[in-house]
Amino acid sequence: MTAADARSRPGSLTVVGLGPGDTAHRTPAVSAALAAATDLLGYRTYLDLAGPFSDGQRVHASDNREELDRARHAFQLAAGGARVVLVSSGDPGVFAMAAAVVEALDNARDPAWHEVALSILPGVSAAQAAAALAGAPLGHDFCALSLSDNLKPWAEIERRLALVCEADLVLALYNPRSKARPDQFGQALRVIRAQRPADTVVVLGRDVGRADESLTVTTLAELAPAQVDMRTVVIVGSSRTRRIPRADGGCWVYTPRFY
């Protein structure tokens, strides 16, 4: 196919989720899409996890977090005939690239973007990987909330936290704490502690599925903000979540199916 042919019809854009990191938890559909791509876009850390790529594949690594810019770049390339893969960690549909991609399409700068063959391939999200390692803390009703106030007012985050605590859901908290906003996680904890007992089980999963993974089981009383960063997913148990000893000295955490 010549370059002129390629430009004569729109290409494809596939948004993929790598899962937690380890290729053992990456779906075959995602691996096949990565192998077939002519162009790969993503945050550099995720592209490093997704590679290596072949010489004929163009890799467009980004060091910034401007998700909408990256989505637009992906559509531009795809509208020009490329087979583009946009790489997310976890599940692209859960606090990752899929929403930015559909948002870019909703505000398309070029009608040709609508002709691009768009597909989204799901993956295992960070909270699921951490939960599996801990036992079954998400075994009953739960919510997934982002604590980032980049795109959402902090007051709304606190309001939601109070309501889901009242609903006695297990909480999976994404983007819990960053260098740019080191104090907000403490504020979130105050909201949660006002409604949940001190001995509520908390699971911290950091880089689960990667070489330096760690899993910490603690309680709401003992949890310190310094234990948490942007690479941590925080699972706060409901009133029913339990921990039981493991033969190896650790513990299993689960939320019973019954209420």
Of residues 97-116, those binding a copy of itself (CB under 8 A) = 98-103, 105-106, 114-115
- Calculate Rg over the CA atoms of the chain: 20
Q: In angstroms, what is the minimal distance from the CB of 128 to a copy of itself?
A: 4
The Cα–Cα gap between 199 and 189 comes to: 14
Q: Does 88 bind a copy of itself (CB under 8 A)?
A: no
**Residue listed under structure tokens 């077939």:** 36
Q: Does 166 bind a copy of itself (CB under 8 A)?
A: yes
- Tell which one of 1, 151, 198, 211 touches a copy of itself (CB under 8 A): 151
- Tell which one of 39, 49, 67, 232 touches a copy of itself (CB under 8 A): 67
> Which of 26/83 has CB closer to a copy of itself?
26
Q: Does 63 bind a copy of itself (CB under 8 A)?
A: no
> Which of 58/190 has CB closer to a copy of itself?
190
Q: In angstroms, what is the minimal distance from the CB of 192 to a copy of itself?
A: 14
**Residue listed under structure tokens 């979130």:** 188
Restricting to residues 11-30, name those near a copy of itself by CB under 8 A: 19-20, 22-29
Q: Does 181 bind a copy of itself (CB under 8 A)?
A: no
Binding range to a copy of itself, per CB under 8 A, among 40-48, 72-80, 94-102, 195-203:
94-102
The Cα–Cα gap between 249 and 232 comes to: 23
**Residues 184-223: x where in contact with a copy of itself by CB under 8 A, - otherwise, as a string:** ----------------------------------------
Q: Where are the strands (E) in 141-196, listed by range?
A: 142-146, 170-174
Q: Which helix (H) or strand (E) holds 42?
A: strand 39-43
> Which of 80/122 has CB closer to a copy of itself?
122
Q: What is the dihedral of CA 20, 23, 24, 30, to 10 degrees?
A: 90
Q: Which of helix, strand or coil describes residue 30?
A: helix
Q: Does 156 bind a copy of itself (CB under 8 A)?
A: yes
- Tell which one of 12, 89, 125, 227 touches a copy of itself (CB under 8 A): 125
Please state, in angstroms and as integers, the Cα–Cα distance from residue 101 to each residue in 9, 15, 63, 222, following that order: 20, 8, 18, 39
Order of strands across the sheet that contains 58-62 = 58-62, 39-43, 83-88, 12-17, 117-121
Q: Does 7 bind a copy of itself (CB under 8 A)?
A: no
Q: In angstroms, what is the minimal distance from the CB of 226 to a copy of itself?
A: 25
Q: In angstroms, what is the minimal distance from the CB of 220 to a copy of itself?
A: 20
Q: Which helix (H) or strand (E) holds 125?
A: none
The Cα–Cα gap between 47 and 35 comes to: 13
> Which of 6/136 has CB closer to a copy of itself?
136
The total of other beta-carbon atoms located within 10 Å of residue 128's CB is 23
